[in-house]
Structure 1
Amino acid sequence: MDRTGAAARGPLTRLLTGLRTLGGSRLQQFCLVLLVLFVLVALLAPWLAPQDPTFGRLGDTLLGPSAEHWLGTGQGGHDTFSALIAGTRTSLAGPLAVVLFSTLMGTAVGLFTAWRGGWIDTVVGRVLDVVFAFPALLLAILAVALFGKGMTAPVIAMAIAYMPYSARLVRGLAVQEKARPYIAAYQVQGHSALFVTVRRMLPNIAPTLLAQSTVNFGYALLDLAALSFLGLGVQPPTPDWGAMINQGQAAVLQGQPLSAIAPAVAVVLVVVAFNVVGESLGDRLAGRDS
């Protein structure tokens, strides 16, 4: 019995030990676990949703919670719990694309300008200042006005809007790294600029860049959810948290608020969790560097 109990506790003990090695408070560890759970739900959404999130019956419109519909039904008669689970994948995929594209572009621009310096650094810096002045949500709305509703155009526009955050960070860190002796040593050995910046300089910048990207993910999720709430992002019947909040407004007026409250709580939890994890990563890196 003791051996069985020890074997059962083994994976849990290793998980808790791994979380402790990440440092931070219980709140930070809880947020990290919460993010892992949301990612798992997004990956397994088709198998976790008990019903078809896009199918609804008019006779089941705005029903309260029951054994068949745990969170009630929406305005179209679809199961709110199933739509919430299916919307996890859509709501996380858009911000992920924004963060990936913006980080890749920002990293390339930041490394290039830091390495070249001079007038190139000055000109690119001024261009980034101009892009930085435009809110991401405003650029996304402009993209929708030009190219139509959906997610492709807003994601590209928001990736461009978020790019200066990564570019500025990478440029500042790369300038500091460029002044270190090991960079001069690689140059003396005849290594190319591409090799030095990508293979040697970038790994030293990557942890701080990861912390910034984690925070950006939360903001991107909030912006895309606001866009869908306005009816300019993900279009029905595709489940999305922002669109569900918009559609749930009528349910709130008719005494069934769960259709709007459930996705709103999901958005808040994910955004706060990403901010907490990102800030904790940044604090740990700053403490480690000091």
Structure 2
Amino acid sequence: MPSLTAPPPTTREPWRRVGPPSHRPNIFESLVRGIGGRHWTFALGVAMLALFLLVLVLTPWIAPHDPAIQDLGNRLAGPSAEHWLGTDHMGRDVLSRLMWGGRFSVTIAGITLAICAVSGVILGALAARRGGWVDELVMRAVDVLVCFPDVVVALFLIALFGTGYGTLIAALTIAGWTPFARLMRGLALEINAKDYVEAAEVLGSPKWFILFRHVIPNALPPVAAMSFLRFGHKLITVGALSYLGLGVQPPDSDWGAMLLDAQPYMERAPWVGILPGAAIFLAALSVTLIGQGLDKKKKSRRRRSVASGAPGAPTPVHGSALDEGEAL
């Protein structure tokens, strides 16, 4: 009679999951976990920006007064139950004008930033990918435009075409794509040396496919950090141009125009000028904190990867492409 022996213990493959499957988080849990894993400046910036955007989106429904209605008998009145932040020199509600003016400032800054980011990323990637005269042409154009601040370009265009939304967007776009182009060129030169890009070239992939499938997508995190940092710059520039009378024209208004109107009355009613200035500062601070949080998270991950000697760890270079682009 054959002896009965116990079957040998089964060996589990190390890659198999042991136990019940883990809970799959929903979208809200993933968002909270992603924010919690970032630098604290990122979480603070996201909270501030979300509050700003929520107020600006709901402005048509929550604004207490019409921003254009004048009450000359109630000029430069202090905060009250009817006017929470007081009135300006024409009796208009300051809170309502802050909310409606913020919609214009943020919209113009967002439109110009989107145009600058898309055009700068494409031109920078093409310059690094093609090289030769294309690279020289793009980079020499960057060197020339860096010499002219946005305000100087705006003055020149307004002298030619007059004031208007289109002129303001064009002025902010002409000199605004250069930091993105320089940043993208530095990132693309590093990505072009990667193994997966060389493998795609050996397989005969078209150059445009490599550019839009491998180069640009892998450079998006630093570009996103740069975009938030530059958004604050655009917002301040829009306010500066409006303060100089080159931006929005009456009866419309924005934060810069409110500063201009409040200048003669700062001693009598300081809140009329302090509030729009504080709005510009806090909005620019929120997006700057987000950009700095993204950049610090990326740099700390890079340092840990280099220190651990992990395979495929990036080679440390002098400075970073984001620092080089932000210097513009």
Q: TM-score, normalised by structure 1?
A: 0.90
Amino acid at match of 1:195: F
Tell me, in whole angstroms, the C-alpha distance in 2 between the residues paired with 1:236 and 1:59: 21
SS of the residue 1:162 aligns to = coil
Matched residue, 1:160: 174
Matched, 1:172 2:200: no
| Aligned residue number for residue 96 of structure 2 | 82
1:211-222 aligned at under 5 Å gives the runs 211-222=225-236
Is the partner of 1:65 in helix, strand or coil? coil
Matched, 1:103 2:117: yes
Alignment map for 1:49-198 (pairs within 5 Å)? 49-198=63-212
How much is the aligned-residue C-alpha RMSD, in angstroms? 2.0
Contact between 1:107 and 1:167, CA under 8 Å: does it hold in 2? yes
Amino acid at match of 2:36: R
Q: Which ranges in structure 2 are unaligned for 5 or more consecutive residues? A: 1-26, 304-328
Range moving further from structure 2, 179-188 or 222-231:
179-188
After superposition, the Cα gap between the structure-2 partners of 1:209 and 1:16, relative to the gap in structure 1 and judged at 3 Å, is closer
Check if 1:279 corresponds to 2:292: yes
The whole-number CA distance in structure 2 between the counterparts of 1:76 and 1:163 is 39
Report deviation, 1:159: 1.2
Work out whether 1:264 is the aligned partner of 2:264. Answer: no
Paired residue type of 1:24: H
Provide the C-alpha distance between the structure 2 equivalents of 1:33 and 1:206, rounded to a whole number of angstroms. Answer: 23
Question: What is the alpha-carbon distance in structure 1 between the residues aligned to residue 34 and residue 86 of structure 2?
Answer: 38
Q: Which residue of 1 is the match for residue 306 of structure 2?
A: none
How many angstroms apart in 2 are the aligned matches of 1:152 and 1:39? 23
Question: 3-state DSSP class of the match of 2:176?
Answer: helix
Residue equivalent to 1:228: 242
> Structure 1 counterpart of 2:276, which letter?
P
Larger gyration radius, structure 1 or structure 2: 2
Alignment partners' CA distance in 1, 2:277 and 2:262: 10
Deviation at 1:149, TM superposition (A): 1.7
Mapped to 2, the partners of 1:111 and 1:268 lie a distance apart of: 33
The offset of 1:28, in angstroms, is 3.9
CA contact (8 A) 2:258 2:276 kept: yes
Contact 2:124 2:138 in 1 (8 A): no
- How many Å apart are 1:29 and its aligned residue? 2.0
Q: Which of these residues, 39, 43, 50, is aligned with residue 24 of structure 1?
A: 39
Aligned to 1:5: none
Change (3 A) 1:142 1:188: same
Q: Is the 8 A contact 1:141 1:227 kept in 2?
A: no
Identity of aligned residues (%): 38
Tell me the residue number matched to 2:265.
251
1:139 Cα shift? Answer: 0.8
Task: For residue 78 of structure 2, give the secondary structure of its aligned residue in structure 1.
Answer: coil
Between the aligned partners of 2:42 and 2:215, the Cα distance in structure 1 is: 29
* Greater share of residues in helix: 1
1-structure distance, mates of 2:292, 2:151: 23
Is the 1:54–1:239 Cα contact (8 Å) retained in structure 2? no
Consecutive unaligned residues of structure 1, counting only runs of 5 or more, are 1-10
Residue identity in the other structure for 2:210: V
Counterpart Cα distance in 2 of 1:271 and 1:59: 35
Cα distance between partner residues in 1 of 2:29 and 2:131: 50
1:167, distance to aligned residue in structure 2 (A): 0.2
Q: How many residues align?
A: 278
Q: Partner residue of 1:3?
A: none
CA distance in 2 between partners of 1:275 and 1:214 (Å) = 6
Instruction: Work out whether residues 41 and 88 of structure 1, in 8 Å CA contact, stay in contact via their aligned partners in 2.
Output: no
Whole-angstrom CA distance in 2 between matches of 1:194 and 1:41: 42
Query: 2 CA distance for matches of 1:131 and 1:46?
Result: 39
